[in-house]
Every structure is written in structure tokens, then in C-alpha cells.
């Protein structure tokens, strides 16, 4: 009798399954996202330039350079005795500015030049004292009797020289869309701080053209922006019906907001008493133009402009009430920065996949 062959299934030993490249790359992506999250969290804490700064001294005190202890603001006597003028480095309508020296530290001494503008000078001093924060140049001392203010020295100077600074070999590595967008975020952070300051809603009135705006701010050695000139900073109080006018002369040009221009046409001569006042939304109108300067024409800056197109269009609304707040602009800028950093980080991972 013919036997039928018995078929049986042979159990193969379990095979070790090594992690697939996809799984490894998935872990890499997760790690990359985690690192990116940590970086951005740290970045926003510093970039946002929070008003509360643990390194700042109590009101009425300062510290300079590597010194750990806080010193009281210098008095008239201390300024006259301890501060030595080196050279004049600038002069405006209100004051003359001298590079000076105090205890082997470079400092800036500002003195009133036009007695008719002493109220503007004293207003700037009042603002400087009240608004000390990471957004504002550090006050070191003052003498009201002699109309003198002493502040920290920043060798990179005002923002008017930004492009020249970025062309210096030492700083060329900073000339990127990323760093330039960070400067724009600094600028909007300052506007947001002024609009919600401890004193109330303040309007940056010394801003009738781009060059004037840039002259009001300093570039620090660690590439942050500080507001330096606070002479023209009136207060808006909408609940009390208090609006502002930036000066008593007619303002013209596309840089200033529509509500800052004479509304009654060329056939009617300008009269300050007939000029309607306005609010802080004039600062919002100017943000796109100032940011456009910051972004420059480096690789990637046009992509940034594309992402900011909608918020900038909103800033240019003819009706001030329809423009976003400085906080909304700042939030959008930060979101765009986060998005672009993530997009810059991910292409390499996608290529690995």
C-alpha cells in the first residue's frame, strides 16, 4: 500500500526585527521637535524682552558692565565730580550728546541746548525714569538743575547705521533673515510696551519719517533694540477722551498715518486748532515700513515679507480702529518666526526620509 506523504509545517525560529530606518527617523523627528520647542521657549523668553528683568536694579539704582552691585543714580554733584566728557557725538533740536567716561566706563552725557525746549527735555527725563526696563536705555544719573542726563553707552549707535554695521566683517554672520526678523520683533515689542506701559498708553511721536524713527533707537552689542529718545511721548486716555497730536505743524507724506495728515484739503490752510487729535494706532501704521527696513534684502527676507503680508495689510487700514493692536502684531511676528524656524529645520529630515 502506497503511503501518502505527510506534509507538516516547519516552525521557523522567530526572527529578530531590527528597527526600520523609518522608525529611527521618526524618533529623530520627535527629538528634533523637542529640541526646537526648547529652543523656541528659551528664545521667546529672551526675544520678547519681558518688562520684568531680574538683572535690573531697584528703582533709582543701576549697575554697569561686569559690576554685580547696584549703585544709586548719580546726582548733580557726582556727575560734575566723576564724569569726564570726551567728545561730542551728536546734537539734535533739544540736546547735545557727549561720549564721556565714568570710572573707566564709557557713558553718554546729554545736555539741553535750547532753553525754549526745557519742558521736552524734562519730559524725556521723566519718561526715562518711569519706563526703565529691558526695552529702554539704562539711566545712570541726572541733574535737573543743569538739564543733564547720564545713560549707558552703546558703541553700535542708533539704528540708522544698522546696514553699515552688518557689513562689518565681524558682524556679517548676523546679516540673516532670522536675525533681522528678531530685530523687527524687538521693535514691535517696544511699541507694545509703550502702548501698555506703567504710565498708560504712550505714543511715539518723534516718528514722522523712517530716518527719524531709526534715530530714536539704539542697537546693543548683543543685537537687541533699546528705545533711547523719549522726549516726545504723549499719553492717550481714551476713557477720559484724551487723544494726542504729534506737534503743532502740518505732517505730510505716506509714512505718517492718514489721521495725522491735514484732512481739509489744500484749499484750506493748515490750522493747528482745527487739526483733529488721534490715538496710538498711528504707531501701528508705521510698523510695516520700519520692519521692511529691518528685513533688508538678504536671502530669505522676501519669504518673511510674504508671511507678514496679511498683518502688514491690516496695519495699513485707513480706519485706525480697524488696525490690529501692537500685541496682535507681536503675536503674529512670533508665530511667523516659529513657523519659519521649523520649516528651516525640517527639510533635512524630509530628505533623510
CATH number of the domain where residue 125 is located = 3.30.200.20
Which residue among 125, 152, 179 closes a domain? 152
Does some domain include residue 172? yes
Are 53 and 68 within 8 A, CB to CB?
A: no
Percent share of the chain, pLDDT over 90: 76
My answer on whether 128 and 161 are in the same domain is: no
Cα distance between residue 220 and residue 269, in whole Å: 44
C-alpha cell at 186: 524687538
Confidence of residue 344 (pLDDT cuts 50, 70, 90): confident
Q: Is the pLDDT of residue 56 over 90?
A: no
Same domain assignment for residues 184 and 204: yes
* Closest to 121 (Cα-Cα) out of 92, 94, 146, 88: 94
Which of 113, 137, 152 lies at the terminal end of a domain, its last residue? 152
| The three grid cell numbers given for residue 158, joined into one nine-digit string | 542708533
Q: Does the residue 130 lie in any domain?
A: yes
In a domain, 76, yes or no: yes
Nearest to 342 by CA among 22, 29, 21, 27: 29
Write down the pLDDT at residue 188.
98
* Mean predicted confidence (pLDDT) in 52-69: 80
In a shared domain, residues 140 and 265: no
Model pLDDT, residue 250? 96
Summarize the confidence of residues 129-148 as an average pLDDT: 96
* Residue 235 within a domain: yes
**CA nearest 281: which of 167, 201, 187?**
201
For residues 256 and 326, membership in a common domain is answered with: yes
Structure-block grid coordinates of residue 344: 528651516
What pLDDT sits at residue 49?
42
Element (H, E) at 26: helix 21-47
137 and 196 fall within a common domain: no
Q: Are strands 235-236 and 201-202 parallel, antiparallel or unpaired?
A: antiparallel
DSSP structural state of residue 100: E
Report yes or no on 263 lying in a domain: yes
CATH number reported for the structural domain that contains residue 229 in this entry: 1.10.510.10
Q: What pLDDT band is residue 346 in, cutting at 50, 70 and 90?
A: confident
136 and 117, same structural domain?
yes
Q: Does one domain contain both 89 and 231? A: no
Cβ of 128: how many Cβ atoms within 10 Å? Answer: 23
Nearest-CA neighbor of 195 among 286, 273, 289?
286
Give yes or no: residues 164 and 139 share one domain. no
Residue 18 has pLDDT above 60, yes or no: no
Residue 125 sits in which domain range? 69-152
Whether the per-residue pLDDT at 11 is higher than 60: the answer is no
- In-domain check, residue 6: no
pLDDT tens track for 252-294: 999 999 999 999 998 999 999 999 999 999 999 999 999 999 9
Residue 90 included in any domain:
yes
SS3 state of residue 168:
coil
Tell me the average pLDDT of the chain.
87
213 in the same domain as 86:
no
- Residue 43: which residues within 8 A CB-CB, separation 6 or more? none
Same domain, 112 and 235: no
Q: Which residues of 273-284 are buried (b: 16+ CB within 10 A; e: fewer)?
A: eebeebbbbbbb
Is residue 353 included in any domain, yes or no? no
Q: Which of 295, 299, 321, 327 is nearest to 309 (CA)?
A: 295
Residue 129 sits in the same domain as residue 256: no
Q: Report the C-alpha gap between 207 and 194 in whole angstroms.
A: 14
pLDDT of residue 47: 45
The mean per-residue pLDDT over the stretch 325-347 comes to 92
Answer with the one of 152, 168, 195 that is the final residue of a domain.
Answer: 152
Task: Provide the number of structural domains found in the chain.
Answer: 2
Beta bridge pairs of residue 236: 201
Position 66 scores a pLDDT of: 78
Do residues 74 and 182 share a domain? Answer: no
Average pLDDT (202-216) is 96
Amino acid at each position: 500500500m502506497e503511503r501518502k506523504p505527510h506534509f507538516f509545517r516547519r516552525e521557523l525560529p522567530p526572527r529578530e526585527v531590527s528597527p526600520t530606518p523609518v522608525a529611527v527617523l521618526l524618533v529623530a523627528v520627535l527629538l528634533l521637535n523637542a529640541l526646537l520647542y526648547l529652543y523656541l521657549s528659551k528664545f521667546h523668553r529672551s526675544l520678547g524682552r519681558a518688562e520684568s528683568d531680574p538683572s535690573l536694579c531697584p528703582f533709582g539704582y543701576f549697575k554697569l558692565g561686569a559690576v554685580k552691585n547696584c549703585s544709586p543714580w548719580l546726582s548733580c554733584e557726582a556727575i560734575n565730580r566723576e564724569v569726564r566728557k570726551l567728545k561730542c557725538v551728536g546734537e539734535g533740536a533739544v540736546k547735545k550728546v557727549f561720549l564721556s567716561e565714568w570710572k573707566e566706563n564709557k557713558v553718554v552725557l546729554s545736555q539741553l541746548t535750547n532753553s525754549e525746549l526745557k519742558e521736552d527735555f524734562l519730559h524725556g527725563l521723566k519718561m526715562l525714569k518711569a519706563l526703565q526696563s529691558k526695552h529702554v536705555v539704562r539711566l545712570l544719573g541726572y541733574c535737573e538743575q543743569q538739564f543733564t542726563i547720564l545713560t549707558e553707552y552703546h558703541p553700535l549707535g542708533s539704528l540708522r547705521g544698522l546696514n553699515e554695521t552688518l557689513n562689518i566683517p565681524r558682524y556679517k554672520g548676523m546679516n540673516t533673515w532670522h536675525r533681522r526678523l528678531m530685530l523687527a520683533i524687538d521693535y514691535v515689542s517696544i511699541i507694545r510696551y509703550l502702548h501698555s506701559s506703567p504710565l498708560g498708553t504712550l505714543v511715539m511721536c518723534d516718528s514722522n519719517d523712517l530716518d527719524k524713527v531709526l534715530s530714536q533707537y539704539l542697537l546693543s552689542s548683543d543685537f537687541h533694540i533699546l528705545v533711547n529718545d523719549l522726549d516726545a511721548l504723549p499719553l492717550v486716555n481714551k476713557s477720559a477722551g484724551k487723544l494726542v497730536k504729534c506737534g503743532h505743524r502740518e505732517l505730510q507724506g505716506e509714512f505718517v498715518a492718514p489721521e495725522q495728515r491735514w484732512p481739509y484739503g489744500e484749499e484750506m490752510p493748515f490750522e493747528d486748532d482745527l487739526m483733529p487729535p488721534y490715538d496710538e494706532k498711528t504707531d501701528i501704521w508705521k510698523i510695516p515700513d520700519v520692519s521692511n527696513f529691518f528685513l533688508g534684502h538678504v536671502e530669505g527676507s522676501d519669504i518673511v515679507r510674504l508671511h507678514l503680508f496679511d498683518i502688514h495689510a491690516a496695519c495699513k487700514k485707513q480706519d485706525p480702529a480697524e488696525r490690529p493692536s501692537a500685541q496682535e502684531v507681536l503675536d503674529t511676528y512670533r508665530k511667523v518666526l516659529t513657523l519659519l524656524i521649523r520649516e528651516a529645520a525640517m527639510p533635512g529630515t524630509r530628505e533623510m526620509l
